[in-house]
A and B are shown apart, each in its own frame.
Chain A
Amino acid sequence: MSNMPLFEVFVRSKRGLDHTHCGSLHAENAEQALEYARDVYTRRSEGVSIWVVKASDVTASQESDRDSFYDPMDDKPYRHATHYVLPDEVNNM
């Protein structure tokens, strides 16, 4: 028996919230993956909407490139609110 493709499963637990990754499963196609995901990941009404994505279609950043990939953001403290020192009276801004 050869492998069925792998799908990543994302579930939105409630309207108004993001879909969050919750696991993966094997299925022959996307429709089947959706049904399996319903059976496995929402047995107790954990979701109101499910996305399934073929794992091979996901492009991921490389952990080993982390330094060069995220470095440019590390030396920009002025992007954070705490960088600005204001008088106490108005500091709840």
Chain B
Amino acid sequence: MPNSEANLEQLEVDFQARIDAEERIEPKDWMPEKYRKTVLRQMSQHAHSEVIGMQPEGNWITRAPSLHRKIVLLAKVQDEAGHGLYLYSAAETLGATREELVQLMHEGKAKYSSIFNYPTLTWADIGAIGWLVDGAAIVNQVALQRTSYGPYSRSMIRICKEESFHQRQGYEIMLKLANGSPEQKAMAQDALNRFWEPSLMMFGPTDADSPNSAQSMKWKIKRKSNDELRQAFVDQTIKQIEVLGLEMPSKDIKWNEERGHYDFGELNWDEFFAVIKGNGPCNRQRLAHHKKAHDEGAWVREAARAYEAKKKARAEKAA
């Protein structure tokens, strides 16, 4: 039976009422097409980010400075694979298949967080990533634990439980380096300087430049605006920089008595949009590597399938 226009309007009113009452939306519920698309896009982007995010860190697994650092980094990267899985599963509840989602990323039609298009040049970058990149991700994900789409919210809760180890191990690496030899300290400072701005940009464009945010806030897909989250991250991070005894990564960082927050100056948004468009230092490399790993794993999936078919046939014959 086709929905009459009045009927559709009523469905939309009921949908918004459910959201306003802080009820979660579950996969089988009626939802506006635009809501479905927005949540699906956000979850798939988030899933791709977890998976692509393994590459810059994976770059240092074989070169970690000690066996302890190596097993920690392995465990962290393995967690990120798990996060990817939780999020792909959540995305699949809206009817997309894993294969389609991956395909869209390979075709450049689905994005991942642009932070992962920066290279990890030194061991200190692994510290900076855990501390700043995971730190920024945590601020974002803590807010998303209350996102309106049930499966997304549940995967965020699960992920947040695992993230704080990521940030702490990163900060611990920075702490060691910052208190080490002058060369080590310089390395830590350099990593902080390079990852500072890109980390702040992880929250997305300024509120003035994100036209779709208002609707996402109304639907409670987003719970806090990009600028609010970014400010919260800056405020919590300044003290951590001081404890490391490193210099501030920007001259513009100042306490603003009036606002009760730290100012941090203008960010280079031209760079941000260039990286999103595919022109960051590592965009091509990241995608090519993902495709290669995916293709080279094809025989494993085929073998598993063939083995399963063979087992079934044998069982049928025996019966």
Contacts and interface: CB of A to CB of B under 8 A. Distances in A.
**How many A residues are at the interface, by size bracket?**
20 to 34
B304 A28 contact: yes
B210 interface: no
B86 interface: yes
A73 B22 CA distance: 24
Contacts of B311: 29
B185 to A, nearest CB: 33
Nearest to B79: A43
A28 B298 CA distance: 14
B158 interface: yes
A33 to B, nearest CB: 12
A4 B304 CA distance: 10
B38 interface: no
B283 to A, nearest CB: 24
Contact of A28 (B82, B99, B162, B308): B308
B89 A24 contact: yes
B26 interface: yes
A50 interface: no
Interface in A25-56: 25-26, 28-29, 32, 39-40, 43-44
B29 interface: yes
Given A26-B98, A43-B82, A63 B298 contact: no
Interface string A51-79: 00000000010111000000000000000
9 contacts: A6-B92, A22-B158, A23-B155, A23-B158, A24-B89, A25-B85, A28-B304, A39-B82, A63-B29
Interface of A: 1-4, 6, 22-26, 28-29, 32, 39-40, 43-44, 60, 62-64
Given A3-B98, A63-B29, 7 more contacts: A1-B99, A1-B298, A23-B86, A26-B98, A29-B311, A44-B162, A60-B28
Interface of B: 26, 28-29, 75, 78-79, 82, 85-86, 89, 92, 97-99, 154-155, 158, 162, 298, 301, 304-305, 307-308, 311
